[in-house]
């Protein structure tokens, strides 16, 4: 069987994945597992939680904020060391501020 899919850890060579679900169904655990799998597959990976929840605990880090932090973890047995995994929590006000500042090419006041 042949395929036109580029090599990669996910079907269709996807580069952006969204994991959604109502609270308590395991979406944070699935997102963390996919992020670790992606990094172990040789891809630089950023996993972003939309509101503070359990991602820090799932990845074994102390706390997450708007600035990405590198997550330290070991390679799967018999595989190469992971390329890199970063995690963060979305801050919509900070993101809007950063976006507008870049769009307008001027520094903006502290709050919008």
User: Structurally, how many domains does the chain consist of?
Assistant: 1
- Residue 103's Cβ-count burial label (10 Å; 0-12, 13-18, 19+) is exposed
Within a domain: 25: yes
What string of pLDDT tens digits covers the 112 residues of the chain? 445 555 566 766 778 888 998 888 999 999 999 999 888 888 889 999 998 889 999 998 989 999 999 998 766 666 666 678 999 999 988 888 888 888 888 777 766 5
Question: Residue 79's pLDDT is what?
Answer: 63
Edge-first strand order for the sheet with 45-49 is 45-49, 85-89, 69-70
Q: Considering the entire predicted model, what is its pTM?
A: 0.74
Within a domain: 73: yes
Within a domain: 49: yes
Within a domain: 39: yes
In terms of DSSP bridges, do strands 85-89 and 45-49 run parallel, antiparallel, or are they unpaired? parallel
Question: Residue 1's pLDDT is what?
Answer: 43
Within a domain: 7: no
Within a domain: 34: yes
Within a domain: 11: no
Query: Which domain, by its residues, includes 79?
Result: 20-104
């Amino acid at each position: 069987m042949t395929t036109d899919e580029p090599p990669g850890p996910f079907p269709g060579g996807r580069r952006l994945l969204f994991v959604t679900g109502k609270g308590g169904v395991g979406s944070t655990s699935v997102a963390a597992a996919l992020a670790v799998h992606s990094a172990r597959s040789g891809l630089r990976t950023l996993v972003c939680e939309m509101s503070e929840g359990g991602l820090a605990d799932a990845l074994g880090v102390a706390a997450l904020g708007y600035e990405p932090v590198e997550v330290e973890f070991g390679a799967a047995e018999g595989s190469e060391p992971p390329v890199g995994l970063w995690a963060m929590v979305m801050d919509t006000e900070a993101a809007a501020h950063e976006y507008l500042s870049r769009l307008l090419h001027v520094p903006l006041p502290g709050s919008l």
